[in-house]
Structure 1
Amino acid sequence: MRGLTPVAQGIVMMIGAIFLFSSMDAMAKALGADYDPVQVVWARYAGQMAVVALLLAPRLHILMRTRHLGLQLLRSGFLFAATLCFFTSLGHLEIASATGVLNIHPVLLTLGAALILKETLGPRRVIGIGAALVGALLIIRPGSDVFSLASLLPLVAGLCYASYALTTRFLGRDEPILTSFLYTALIGTIVASLMVPAVWQTPPPWDAARFVLLGAVGAAGQLLLIRSLTLAEAGVVAPFGYAGVIFATIYGVLFFGETPDPLSALGALVIVGAGVYVWHRETRARRAEA
């Protein structure tokens, strides 16, 4: 990527990270047809932990030091819950619809920051949050024939992911980003390893290779995400995270024969639009404060 500015490199890496995460989700959906979601989540975390251990081995003893162990555990628990809920939802919903609802997490983060961090919640941000919730309702459609309890899982995943991002804001002031990355992989692997024996199915060689690939792709996505955030400000690269809806739709059409119905597509667009709007308002507010 020679010739690109650091910000441009950060944007490219963010898009690459989202592509890898979408690829991981597609593999999780395919594996979830034959295996329990807990086993798929275990593969995701175990693969990431293996990559982390290899890359950070010389510094593990330093990176394990934290002044906020409780917050690290809570943060990692939120991400684990988000992953488990989302992977479980993929067995019941179209991948594009599930991804669309999951993408409500940025506006939920804005709401959480206002309630917990006492950040300003003006009328325009309230409009953005309300619009995102309307978009989620267009996809979930409670009371209709397409509604099921599984439809709520991506919403729960989005809530957990927003909580994960909120705790990350606290930790980002005092902890190196690689320390948080290490704890996320370690805690997720430990919890999944405790859960997986109850549902374990020994996969044949081809499926075992797919499990390994899922873990490696997830770890690569995390590394690209971290690199993106070191090259550019989070507020600059964050909107490109919505590319996941596009990638998920493509995977759904190509590999699962899924074509989102008009209401689901509209709901996803409303959520993305609301998220970009809230991001725009927050960016302007930060610049005004500066």
Structure 2
Amino acid sequence: MTLRAANPPLAIAFMMTATAFIAATMVMAKSLGTDTLGPPLHPLQISHGRFLFAFIAIATAAAVLRPRIAEPNLKLHFGRTLFGWGGVTFMFSAVAFIPLSDATAISFLNPVFGMLLAIPLLGERVGPWRWGAAGTALIGALILLRPGPESFQLAGLLALGAAFLMGMELIFIKKLANREPGFQILLINNAIGLCIATLAVLPVWTPPTGAQWGALAALGVLMATAQACFVNAMARADASFITPFSYVTLIFAGLYDLLLFDVWPDWISILGALIILSGASLLAWRERRVRFLR
């Protein structure tokens, strides 16, 4: 894979574009999981549409660009995709019941779970700064879950489960990093994801309305474009530098929620989101410092 020259401003532009598209996929998932565009679709059908149309978009690009395909590690790809598919499906379930901003904020726990899982699975050591960042982010998640008999958000547990599964996905991404070209990873990820999603959706598939077909197509294309932007951002700047900009997804999610669903964030949502972002930002800062000191 040809290494690209470092270009932080362009990396930020790619990451900001990716965040806008990722938040837009949540909007599509929320519309499909509620009665906005017709009878609500099952989350398994929504995730199937995401992989179907994302694969079509990426496969079309592959047919035009004809990239060189190196020998892939299919075991790592399958593990990464299985947990990624599960995380996406859980997230699409959550956004049908809770505000986009809350689900998005909870999803930012995935690097925290990735850090915790790296201890037994990758043998990594975690110091007090990392434990402090993880604890801070988890406190924010507990606030967003609104622990109480009248305010507890059960659907928030779906978002929490999504963050855990995506944390597992990060373990496989770490193992794949620097082994294969980014485009190849995207192509194989979406091909395997489509196979998994197709098998899973068969028992619950129902014919979508015309509007739902359009939303499913938009969901897949938006996700494929977001992934491409993310890969390009990571190729042009250090991960520790560019990753914090992904938190802008929360701003876009809140904005879309307000404009499209007239959902205003309450003080609990704002407080929980700020605490999660503080913990995630501290973790990103610490990772960058550790790499710099090495």
Q: One-letter code of the match for 1:145?
A: E
Aligned partner of 2:51 in structure 1 is 45
Aligned partner of 1:237 in structure 2 is 242
Aligned: 1:14 with 2:19: no
**Between Structure 1 and Structure 2, how many residues are aligned?**
284
Q: Quote the offset at 1:60 in angstroms.
A: 7.2
Superimposed CA distance per residue, residues 156-198 of structure 1 (whole angstroms, 9 cap, x where no aligned partner): 1111111111111111142222222122101111111122232
Aligned: 1:70 with 2:75: yes
Contact 1:139-1:263 at 8 Å conserved across structures? yes
Contact 1:64-1:182 at 8 Å conserved across structures? no
Q: Quote the offset at 1:58 in angstroms.
A: 6.6
Moved more, 70-79 or 196-205: 196-205
| 2: CA distance, partners of 1:64 / 1:41 | 28
SS of the counterpart of 2:190?
Answer: helix
| 1: CA distance, partners of 2:102 / 2:67 | 42
Q: Quote the offset at 1:64 in angstroms.
A: 6.8
Aligned: 1:79 with 2:70: no
| 2: CA distance, partners of 1:102 / 1:246 | 14
SS of the counterpart of 1:202?
Answer: coil
Matches within 5 A, 1:101-180: 101-180=106-185
Aligned partner of 2:97 in structure 1 is 92
| 1: CA distance, partners of 2:68 / 2:82 | 22
Which segments of structure 1 move beyond 3 Å, counting only runs of 4 or more? 58-62
What is the root-mean-square deviation of aligned Cα atoms in Å?
1.8
Aligned partner of 2:226 in structure 1 is 221
Q: Quote the offset at 1:104 in angstroms.
A: 0.9
Contact 1:14-1:228 at 8 Å conserved across structures? yes
Contact 2:146-2:153 at 8 Å conserved across structures? no
| 1: CA distance, partners of 2:270 / 2:137 | 13
Q: Structure 1 length normalisation: TM-score?
A: 0.92
Moved more, 42-51 or 119-128: 119-128
Contact 2:42-2:204 at 8 Å conserved across structures? yes
Contact 2:23-2:249 at 8 Å conserved across structures? yes
Q: Quote the offset at 1:62 in angstroms.
A: 5.1
SS of the counterpart of 1:201?
Answer: coil
Contact 1:37-1:87 at 8 Å conserved across structures? yes
| 2: CA distance, partners of 1:41 / 1:256 | 21
Contact 2:70-2:180 at 8 Å conserved across structures? no
Q: One-letter code of the match for 1:65?
A: E
| 2: CA distance, partners of 1:195 / 1:111 | 29
Superimposed CA distance per residue, residues 188-213 of structure 1 (whole angstroms, 9 cap, x where no aligned partner): 11111122232222223233222211
Q: Quote the offset at 1:72 in angstroms.
A: 1.0
SS of the counterpart of 1:63?
Answer: coil
